[in-house]
Amino acid sequence: MSGIPFGTPEWAAALRDEVNRSSEYRNAASRWGVGFNGNILLAFEVDPALPDPLYLFVALSAGRCDRAEFTRGPSHPEAGFTLRAPFSLWREILERRTMAAAAILTGKMRVEGDKMTLLKQAGANRALIHCTGSVPTIFPAPPSAR
Amino acid sequence: MSGLRDKLKRTIEGAVRDAGEVPEELTTNFGHIFRSTPRILVEPRSADDVAAAIRFAREEGLTVATRGAGHSQSHLGLSDGGILLAMGSLDRILGIDRDRLTADVEGGVLWGDLLARLKPLGLAPPVLTNNLNVTVGGTLSVAGIGVASFRYGTQGDQVGELDVVTGSGETVTCSWERNTDLFESVIAGLGQTGVITRARLKLRRVKPMTRTYYLLYDDGRRFLDDARTAMDSGRWDHLESWASPSPQGTKPVGGRRQIFARWFFPFHTTVEFDEGALPDDKALLSGLRPYETLYVDDLPTYEFFGRLEPVFDLWKRGGTWEHVHAWTECVMPWETAPDLLEAILPDLPPSILVGGHVLLWPAKGATSRSRYFMRPPGENLVGFGILPAIPPRYWEEAKPMLDMASRLAIAMGGKRYLSGYVEFTAEEWREHFGPMWEPLVAAKRRYDPDAILNPGFVPLDARRAAAEPSR
């Protein structure tokens, strides 16, 4: 299987490049992070498919990603928004089996930050999720395969 | 099976049919999403027939669904193994009082038929729905909204009195002053407490001609500003508007290329006038800032009321009338309506609207006093609706997008309009009615103690509610 292991610096760098290559993101997110802090921390919480949590910080502004990195904490001082969900739900979203906005609206994904801003720019966030799902990824093996 | 039918037939003047005799079109509604077959179809001839059918259902442990023109899209107007009351047979216009400006009609009368009778008298109901081929009882049960609602509220607000057969089989006359609790639970009450067999409708005198200004906006926020100006000016009799797509090409949405559109906002402002007293165009339009004024149309008023009939005919001839109609309509707070437009429209494929459209109506919250027509607080409101006609094979593909639009509207403070496609969880139903949920449950318990009326949509199980400990 070809791909980049999820949770590594290489994966984060690949995501940054994917975002900056994406005309969908550039157009849909042209107003994201303009006049407000658009940096997002994605919190991949522990569940049977992920023994230790992962936190991905992405610095986003005006249709560009300036930085993407996995970080330590459950929070990040530069983040304007934090999206928290169990890893299995994230994986469903990245594999386009669940819509991120639906997960937010049904409360399955928890939002820290102005939820309305996030929902108003649904296209920007859909494009970001698409970029994230477009990185060729080797996900952590499920427990039965370990 | 025929034993039940024959037994019921002995007490009913109208037609009574078995499941096997039910016409195909009565097993679904305008939504074409749900299908179900009643055990018995009743076409009542009178309120007594309705009462007899309900009493029979109670005795036999059957449910009763009511159906007008079947224009609902969720599980309304359908019966799954119970009695279906096809109310279209109660279609008599009982009387028109030209002095008091009222009309008494049976619940199955079509608004269009009433209008035809009122035309020679120069009268009309204050609020008319766009589609006139729907019944009085049907639209009153969901509220009934039209292009004059910004002035007169809902059709339910323009009712003086009702005869209702409750879920107990009792016939009750009720109004804003008499048996008020029942009356208010029937208006926009989704047929949960009673069946409307007669309505006394308020009327107004109309002027013979209308002039409509076809204004076009290229900016949603400017359009909304002007819509408020138009509402507040008191100059207009009817206000109608849409969001209209101009396809531009394809773009990726979630990685899949789809057609995208530049959206425009047609705003049709209409004033009625007497022959020989032509409207003052300049005075009427002052303060409005459209991108372009496309057309000014003078039309006899009764033709104006039927202005969308040619559009509906086109949809019928094109075959889209038989497609899935999952109309996702809501009433939005004025403040968040622009945000909703900007969140939804950019990625809404215009192709979904073949045989449909996106409604966008300005409204005034205080014009309605209906208890169960749920709307956001605030003086100014916006009706927003995605009204698609979806080929059945694409329904599953389109459904998540419409569900998302519904959830987004609610998250932004909107309330769904319930004649359309609604698939709420029990919790979402409670949230929809908010503080009116418990009163609605109580009304259901009071007037339909066996919970036989119109099951399958709003989960008001009076029997279960009655079993709960009182708080």
- Chain B residues touching residue A133 (CB < 8 angstroms): 255
Cβ pair B404, A105 in contact under 8 A: yes
pLDDT at A16 over 80: yes
Average pLDDT rounded to a whole number, residues B19-45: 97
A21 and chain B: CB distance < 8 Å anywhere? no
Q: How far apart are CA B363 and CA B317, in angstroms?
A: 32
Residue B341 per-residue DSSP state: H
Q: How many CA atoms lie within 13 A of B25 on its CB side?
A: 9
Average pLDDT rounded to a whole number, residues A15-36: 96
By Cβ distance, the residue of B253, B255, B408 closest to A119 is B408
B431 and chain A: CB distance < 8 Å anywhere? no
**Percentage of chain B modeled with pLDDT above 90:** 93
pLDDT, position B465? 44
B255/A123 touch (CB, cutoff 8 Å), yes or no: no
Q: Phi/psi of residue B295, each to 5°?
A: -165, 150
Residue A2 per-residue DSSP state: -
Q: How far apart are CA B115 and CA B132, in angstroms?
A: 9
User: Each residue of A71-99: pLDDT tens digit?
Assistant: 998 999 999 999 999 999 999 998 888 88
By Cβ distance, the residue of B252, B342, B404 closest to A101 is B404
B343/A121 touch (CB, cutoff 8 Å), yes or no: yes
**E-assigned strand segments in B327-460:** 328-333, 357-364, 380-387, 415-416
A115/B411 touch (CB, cutoff 8 Å), yes or no: yes
Question: Residue B155 corresponds to which tokens in the numbers above?
Answer: 């059709």
B254/A127 touch (CB, cutoff 8 Å), yes or no: yes
A102/B407 touch (CB, cutoff 8 Å), yes or no: yes
pLDDT, position A142? 67
Q: How far apart are CA B287 and CA B225, in angstroms?
A: 10
User: Each residue of B205-258: pLDDT tens digit?
Assistant: 999 999 999 999 999 999 999 999 999 999 999 999 999 999 999 999 888 899
pLDDT, position A144? 64
Q: Which A-chain residues 97-126 have CB contacts (< 8 A) with chain B?
A: 99, 101-102, 105-106, 115-116, 119-123, 126
A8 and chain B: CB distance < 8 Å anywhere? no
- Chain A residues touching residue B346 (CB < 8 angstroms): 28, 123
pLDDT, position B468? 43
Name the one residue in this structure whose structure tokens are 């509604």: B29
Cβ pair B361, B149 in contact under 8 A: yes
User: Each residue of B410-422: pLDDT tens digit?
Assistant: 999 999 999 999 9
B255/A102 touch (CB, cutoff 8 Å), yes or no: no
Average pLDDT rounded to a whole number, residues A5-13: 96
B400 and chain A: CB distance < 8 Å anywhere? yes
Q: How confident is the model at residue A102 (pLDDT cuts 50, 70, 90)?
A: confident
Cβ pair B217, B290 in contact under 8 A: yes
Give me the DSSP letters along B206-262: --SEEEEEEEEES-HHHHHHHHHHHHHH---SEEEEEEEEEEEEEEEETTEEEEEEE
| Distance between start and end Cα atoms, chain B | 43
Residue B401 per-residue DSSP state: H
By Cβ distance, the residue of B336, B343, B400 closest to A122 is B343
With CA atoms as reference, report the closest residue to B183 among B149, B154, B141: B141
Greater confidence, B297 or B350? Answer: B297
Q: How many CB atoms lie within 10 A of CB A97?
A: 9
Give chain B's mean pLDDT. Answer: 95
B407 and chain A: CB distance < 8 Å anywhere? yes
A130/B255 touch (CB, cutoff 8 Å), yes or no: yes
B347/A122 touch (CB, cutoff 8 Å), yes or no: yes
Q: How far apart are CA B138 and CA B195, in angstroms?
A: 10
- Chain A residues touching residue B342 (CB < 8 angstroms): 120
- Chain B residues touching residue A129 (CB < 8 angstroms): 254
B343 and chain A: CB distance < 8 Å anywhere? yes
pLDDT at A140 over 90: no
CA dihedral for B291, B294, B300, B306, sign (positive or negative): negative
State which residue of chain A sits closest to B345, comparing Cα positions.
A123
**How distant, in Å, are the alpha carbons of B17, B19, B44, B106, B312 from that of B8?**
10, 14, 12, 22, 38
pLDDT, position B466? 43
Strand partners of residue B240: B268
B343/A106 touch (CB, cutoff 8 Å), yes or no: no
- CB burial class (10 A; 0-12, 13-18, 19+) of residue B426? exposed
Q: How far apart are CA B171 and CA B190, in angstroms?
A: 18
- Chain B residues touching residue A106 (CB < 8 angstroms): 407
Q: How far apart are CA B193 and CA B446, in angstroms?
A: 8
pTM (predicted TM-score):
0.92
Q: Which B-chain residues 269-308 have CB contacts (< 8 A) with chain A?
A: none
Question: Residue B311 corresponds to which tokens in the numbers above?
Answer: 């559009």
pLDDT, position B340? 95
pLDDT at B379 over 60: yes
pLDDT at B174 over 90: yes
B6 and chain A: CB distance < 8 Å anywhere? no
pLDDT at B314 over 60: yes
Amino acid at B4: L
User: Each residue of B64-92: pLDDT tens digit?
Assistant: 999 999 999 999 999 999 999 999 999 99
Q: How many CA atoms lie within 13 A of B212 on its CB side?
A: 18
Beta strands B194-202; B159-166: pairing state: antiparallel
B347/A126 touch (CB, cutoff 8 Å), yes or no: yes
B254/A105 touch (CB, cutoff 8 Å), yes or no: no
Element (H, E) at A44: strand A40-45
State which residue of chain B sits closest to A122, comparing Cα positions.
B343
B346 and chain A: CB distance < 8 Å anywhere? yes
A19 and chain B: CB distance < 8 Å anywhere? no
- Chain B residues touching residue A115 (CB < 8 angstroms): 411
* Alpha carbon of residue B161 to chain centroid: 19
Q: How far is A82 from chain B (nearest CA, A)?
A: 18
pLDDT at B469 over 90: no
pLDDT, position B471? 35
- Angle between the N-to-C axes of helices B47-60 and B2-9, in degrees from 0 to 180, rounded to the nearest 10: 140
